A and B are shown apart, each in its own frame.
Chain A
Amino acid sequence: MSPTISRRDVLKSLAMSAAATSVLRVIPAQAAEYAHHMIAAEKAAAPAKNYAPKFFSPHEYKTLQALCQTIIPADADSGGAIEAGAPEFIDLLTSENKDYQRILGGGLLWLDSTCSDRYEKVFLDCSPEQQKEILDQIAYRKSAIANPALDPGVEFFSFLRDMTADGFFTSEIGIKYLGYIGSAYLKEFPGCPPVPEA
């Protein structure tokens, strides 16, 4: 029933149709192969372990990782934001964007200063209860309405939450977690399986 065909079949059939029509500028098999080469080259260029942050200091980066993993943790179904490479993605974009540097760089400093004022420790050195207490406040807009002093923290956390979600849900494990199936070569499109009534 499944119209899925192997990638090899597709490349073969595309190559044949390319041969049949020499005027087509695109040689599909080559084009499809290109993606593979590009990916291989990228993987070779960027070893996953011992990532050296481009923008954040080592301490900031550790804090960033902890926050990302708190926003999207590992659970029984999948790894979390760190396993998905979200901190690397956020660091890369931040290194290229002044606004991100202000919001995220400034936000991390705000978090540590606020924790120091309250708990006499930077965020990472706080107890899990203390960390939860501050995060439960900056994770909701209503906190900033009640206490305007929390506004920078709320803005920071909201931005980081979006970027962490971006980093996680565009990763291989995040896409698998969502259950997206596609970007395939199909001979025909099967249409919709039965939809339950609302």
Chain B
Amino acid sequence: MPQVVRSPKVYDVCIIGSGAAGGTAAKILTEGGLNVVMVEAGPPLNPQKDFKEHVWPYQLPHRGAGIGGKASDNFSEFLAPNGSWEIEGEPYTIAEGSRFRWFRSRIVGGRTNHWGRIALRFAPVDFKSRSTDGMGDDWPITYEDVAPYYDKVESYIGVFGTKENVPSAPDGIFMPPPKPRCTETIVKKACDKLNITCIPSRLAIITQPHNGRPPCHYCAQCGRGCVSASNFSSSQVMIPYAEKTGRFTLLTNAMAREIVVGKDGKAQAVSYIDKLTRTEKKIYAKAFVVGASACESARLLLNSKSTVFADGLANSSGVIGRYLTDSVGSSGGGVFPQLAKVPPHNHDGVGGMHMYMPWWKFDRKNDFLRGYHIEFGGGRSMPGVGEFDVLCETVEGYGVSLKQKCRDAYGTYIGFAGRGEMIPNEHSYCEVDPNTADEWGIPVLRFHWQWSDNEIKMARDMQQTFREIVEAAGGTYYSRVMADGPNPYGIEDGGVIIHELGTVRMGNSPKTSALNGYCQAHDVKNLFVTDAASFVTNPDKNPTLTIVALSWRASEYLLDEAKKGNL
């Protein structure tokens, strides 16, 4: 039996997870005067060691492919650390007939170290799905409730963009965007021809000095982690400011196992495994903020069973684990001969797209509900492993002609990816797998997944649109998608877009939701879940900006309630 070590100290708040939600809560709560402890399942982050910005592939023996060439499964050896589809010793299981993948980060800052920095506001209609088309549910809060927090978040973290008055993509507080690259210039032109809205993207990358952070230096390597903190990550933009207050304690390699409830029905402590010593420890606090990532947060609550909460903490509604969604993703690409004629030049830009297509068909009847946006990129970026696989397979042969064909093709490809809204369905959820525990003895999650017809129709529309854009721009469209099979129209498996969420949803009724509009558990007043588990739906917007906004809002509410003595 592991030894249980009691910590006598009682913190004001214990935060579980250090990513977008946890980092934000840490900053707001400590600056509000509370003593906060944070438990993070991964190691501390050391940017000097862990970030590989400005490293060339030939400077690493594996050229970015990783040991045995296996890094490609996790995008690249260059990626900021500790995110992967499979974590040794910490499995998850998939129900028969389901396809789902779960990307997890175990590191201070979580997935914000490498995320795509796409920072899109939800639109007013996105909070009112059921009222709009009868599917899914409305949120208990509206755009007007969240808008002041979008303002605060954008002002604080820094987001570039432009005011465009597109109803599906509300404007925010923006820094100037970078100029378009060649790829964006030609795609924009094609979109104009087709009446597809194509506007500067909105990314959490600063283009002007901001709160002491230097502006972007345009190396296009945000995904590797930014040495100058010119983009948003919790580890560089939130947590250091919590530490500065002197009221913040960070425990790393601390894997939360259970939230323990007192006789009064309130959360009292978190039991965690200290991974370095393999011992179980407890941290006591007056309130708890869970931000372990949507499915991990659900897992923690489901594993926190007690006589008061036999089905998991704060789960009297039975909704925890349910309403799991991911973005609808499908992709394709085109080759554009005119790009071969562009003289060599620095095409890098920021680490991500300079332009994108917000949902533009909101004003007409489509053969599916809801919408999607389009991300795209390509051109003369830093060559990497796998760059010419498709070309080699197509032209075959060998010798100088092969070499020259690679050079001719270099930088002429632009990839397109749709990101659309999935409607929650009863077949997509996660639950605790009673037969499997991880190496820390904690029962793991089992995933169930099914796309509905609506998402598949959306993927088909994406494919048609990509083709139209590519052809309008004078390119040749390439896509290997098929209309049937496990991934019709190229729809990605659940979880692959890494926007999995909704598993501890908020709502007005304690019967059909676990949290109120402030991310506070209906059943347990001193428990908050502020990550994307709290989302009711996920529109075609990447979730991080809204996670930060909701966590900020919940934290201010928590501060207020603490002052009033209501927790």
Among B61, B69, B348, find the residue whose CB has the most chain A CB atoms closer than 10 A.
Answer: B69
Is A28 a contact of B63 with CB atoms below 8 Å?
no
Cβ of A117 < 8 Å from any Cβ of B? no
CB 8 Å contact bits of B58-88 with A (1 = contact, 0 = none):
1111111101111000000000000000000
Is B69 a contact of A97 with CB atoms below 8 Å?
yes
Name A162's contact: one of B45, B52, B389, B473 (CB within 8 Å): B389
Is B212 a contact of A183 with CB atoms below 8 Å?
no
Please give, as numbers and ranges, the residues of chain A lying within 8 Å of B62 by CB-CB distance: 89, 92-93
Name A23's contact: one of B219, B244, B341, B350 (CB within 8 Å): B244
Return the chain B residue nearest A2 by Cβ: B346
Cβ of A85 < 8 Å from any Cβ of B? yes
Interface of chain A residues 74 through 128 with chain B (CB within 8 A)? 75, 85, 88-89, 92-93, 96-97, 100
- In Å, the complex CA distance between A96 and B239 comes to 38
- In Å, the complex CA distance between A167 and B345 comes to 23
- In Å, the complex CA distance between A23 and B212 comes to 9
- In Å, the complex CA distance between A88 and B61 comes to 9
Cβ of B406 < 8 Å from any Cβ of A? yes
Given contacts A25-B240, A97-B68, contact A170 B178 (CB under 8 A): no
What is the minimal beta-carbon distance from A151 to any residue of chain B, in angstroms? 15
Interface residues of A toward B: which range?
Answer: 35 or more
Is A25 a contact of B385 with CB atoms below 8 Å?
no
Cβ of B211 < 8 Å from any Cβ of A? yes
Given contacts A25-B235, A73-B399, A180-B382, contact A31 B348 (CB under 8 A): no
Return the chain A residue nearest B475 by Cβ: A198
Cβ of A190 < 8 Å from any Cβ of B? yes
Cβ of A195 < 8 Å from any Cβ of B? yes
Interface of chain B residues 184 through 217 with chain A (CB within 8 A)? 184-186, 209, 211-214, 217
Secondary structure at chain B's binding surface: helix, strand, loop or mixed? loop
Please give, as numbers and ranges, the residues of chain A lying within 8 Å of B239 by CB-CB distance: 25
- In Å, the complex CA distance between A26 and B48 comes to 7
Name B186's contact: one of A38, A189, A195 (CB within 8 Å): A195
Interface of chain A residues 162 through 179 with chain B (CB within 8 A)? 162, 165-172, 174-175, 177-179
Is A195 a contact of B217 with CB atoms below 8 Å?
no
Interface of chain B residues 325 through 359 with chain A (CB within 8 A)? 336-339, 341-350
What is the minimal beta-carbon distance from A32 to any residue of chain B, in angstroms? 6
Given contacts A30-B48, A89-B63, A139-B398, contact A178 B346 (CB under 8 A): no
- In Å, the complex CA distance between A75 and B58 comes to 21
Return the chain B residue nearest A25 by Cβ: B240
Is A169 a contact of B383 with CB atoms below 8 Å?
yes
Return the chain A residue nearest B337 by Cβ: A198
- In Å, the complex CA distance between A162 and B382 comes to 17
Cβ of B364 < 8 Å from any Cβ of A? no
Please give, as numbers and ranges, the residues of chain B lying within 8 Å of A35 by CB-CB distance: 52-55, 59
Is A26 a contact of B68 with CB atoms below 8 Å?
no
13 residue pairs bridging A and B, Cβ less than 8 Å apart: A14-B214, A24-B236, A26-B47, A31-B48, A34-B48, A42-B60, A89-B61, A139-B396, A179-B344, A182-B380, A186-B348, A187-B217, A198-B336
Q: Which 10 A-B pairs have the closest CB atoms?
A: A21-B212, A191-B179, A198-B474, A96-B68, A97-B68, A31-B227, A170-B57, A179-B344, A192-B182, A182-B348
A-B contacts besides A180-B410, A182-B382, A189-B178, 20 pairs, CB < 8 Å: A10-B217, A21-B213, A24-B236, A28-B229, A35-B54, A71-B399, A72-B398, A89-B62, A93-B65, A97-B68, A140-B397, A165-B402, A165-B406, A170-B385, A180-B344, A191-B178, A193-B342, A193-B345, A195-B185, A195-B338
